[in-house]
């Protein structure tokens, strides 16, 4: 019953439903690559229609989401760390503009405006890419902070040992504890929110770059990257403790 109640709670969030739709959207793109290789034109058309339908559904689900990102940008102004504040404010502002343009893309596709959907999609991709770059800088900064804190703690521990033990004992203990140099890596891997966020943003990075023509990657790779980032997003909604804070 606990699992069922968790599923019900997950489905009550529009963000959760959006992530599920996104997973199927990129899974359709991934499968369509194989369908094209096997020259199954009928399946390719069906998968493309499914992908477009899911994309349109997601745009509707995210209506008003830009307000949430604007609010997040304002709240991020109170963060003391200047680099972290810059990254979060710029990432959330970029996401807010991306969402607004994406809504306009949806309106253009259903004929509510006469704007060019392809041109708008490229504009949206630019802001999406900007938000991902700032989010990845934030992730890298968090990783560097973890490593730096570990090194400082190691130096403090070493100093304490040198003050209380004789030199020979200290050298032996240092060899056992410091030489492997894997402590910081274990700390990073143990930080599940940081790992989840980094994987998600890294997987997403090439998608807007492909939309803008900066890189040339196949539908298979795009689908695979989208599936990975979607799974990370689903995990964050399913288990809020996996969401990186602030």
In this structure, the answer to whether residues 178 and 237 fall within a common structural domain is no
Asked if residue 146 and residue 99 are part of one domain, the reply reads yes
**Which pTM does this prediction carry?**
0.86
Residue 142 has pLDDT above 80, yes or no: yes
Residues 103-129 pLDDT 10s: 999 999 989 988 999 999 999 999 999
More confident call, 3 vs 44 = 44
Kindly state the percentage of the chain with pLDDT values over 70.
89
**Pair 237, 139 in one domain:** no
- pLDDT per residue over 166-202, tens digit each? 554 544 444 444 444 557 788 888 999 999 999 999 9
- Who has greater pLDDT, 156 or 132? 132
Asked if residue 26 lies in contact with residue 230, where contact means CB atoms within 8 angstroms, the answer is yes
**Burial level of 225, CB count in 10 A (0-12/13-18/19+)?**
buried
Over residues 154-166, mean pLDDT: 63
**210 lies in a domain?**
no
Q: Is 48 found in the same domain as 79?
A: no
* Concatenated DSSP letters of 17-86: HHHHHHHHHHHHHHHHHHHHHTT-HHHHHHHHHHHHHHHHHHHHHTTTHHHHHHHHHHHHTT-SSHHHHH
How many structural domains comprise the chain? 2
What is residue 176's predicted lDDT score, i.e. its pLDDT?
Answer: 41
Burial 80-113 (b: 16+ CB within 10 A, else e): eeeebeebbbbbbbbbbbbbbbbbbbbebbeeee
More confident residue, 91 or 3: 91
Asked, for residue 2, whether it belongs to a domain, the answer is: yes
Dihedral sign computed on CA atoms, order 102, 104, 105, 109: positive
Quick one: tokens of 149? 């804190």
Q: Please report the pLDDT score of residue 164 as a whole number.
A: 60
Residue 224 has pLDDT above 60, yes or no: yes
> Do both 139 and 110 map to the same domain?
yes
Choose one of 151, 170, 190: the last residue of a domain.
190
Question: Could you give the C-alpha distances from 222 to 21, 33, 44, 171, 210, in angstroms and in order?
Answer: 16, 10, 16, 51, 8
Q: Is residue 46 part of a domain?
A: yes
178 lies in some domain: yes
- Which residues lie closer than 8 Å to 159 by C-beta, 6 or more apart? none
Mean pLDDT score of the chain: 89
pLDDT in tens, 47-97: 999 999 999 999 998 988 999 999 999 999 999 999 999 999 999 999 999
Q: With residue 2 as reference, give the H or E element that holds it.
A: helix 2-11
Distance CA 181, CA 106 (A): 51
Categorize the per-residue pLDDT at 153 as very low, low, confident or very high, splitting at 50, 70 and 90: confident
Lowest mean pLDDT among 35-39, 130-134, 185-189, 233-237: 185-189
Same domain? For 95 and 51 the reply is no
| Owning domain of residue 136 | 65-190
Distance CA 219, CA 124 (A): 20
| DSSP letters spanning 128-185 | HHHHHHHHHHHHHHHHHHHHHHHHHHHHHHHHHHHHHS-HHHHHHHHHHHTTT--HHH
């Amino acid at each position: 019953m606990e699992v069922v109640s968790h599923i019900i709670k997950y489905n009550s969030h529009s963000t959760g439903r959006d992530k599920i739709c996104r997973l199927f959207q990129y899974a359709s793109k991934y499968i369509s690559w194989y369908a094209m290789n096997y020259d199954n034109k009928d399946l390719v058309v069906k998968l493309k229609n499914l992908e477009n339908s899911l994309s349109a559904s997601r745009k509707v689900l995210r209506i008003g989401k830009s307000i949430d990102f604007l609010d997040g940008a304002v709240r991020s102004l109170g963060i003391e760390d200047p680099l972290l504040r810059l990254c979060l404010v710029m990432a959330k502002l970029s996401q807010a503009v991306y969402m607004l343009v994406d809504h306009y893309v949806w309106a253009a596709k259903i004929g509510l405006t006469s704007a060019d959907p392809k041109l708008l999609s490229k504009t949206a991709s630019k802001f999406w890419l900007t938000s991902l770059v700032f989010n990845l800088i934030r992730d890298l900064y968090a990783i560097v902070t973890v490593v730096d804190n570990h090194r400082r703690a190691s130096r403090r521990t070493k100093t304490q040992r040198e003050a209380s033990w004789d030199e020979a004992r200290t050298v032996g203990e240092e060899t056992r504890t410091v030489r492997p140099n894997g402590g910081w890596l274990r700390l990073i891997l143990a930080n599940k929110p940081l790992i989840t966020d980094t994987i998600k943003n890294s997987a997403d990075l090439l998608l807007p770059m492909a939309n803008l023509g900066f890189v040339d990657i196949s539908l298979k790779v795009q689908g695979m990257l989208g599936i990975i980032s979607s799974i990370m997003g689903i995990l964050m909604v399913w288990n809020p403790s996996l969401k990186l804070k602030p």
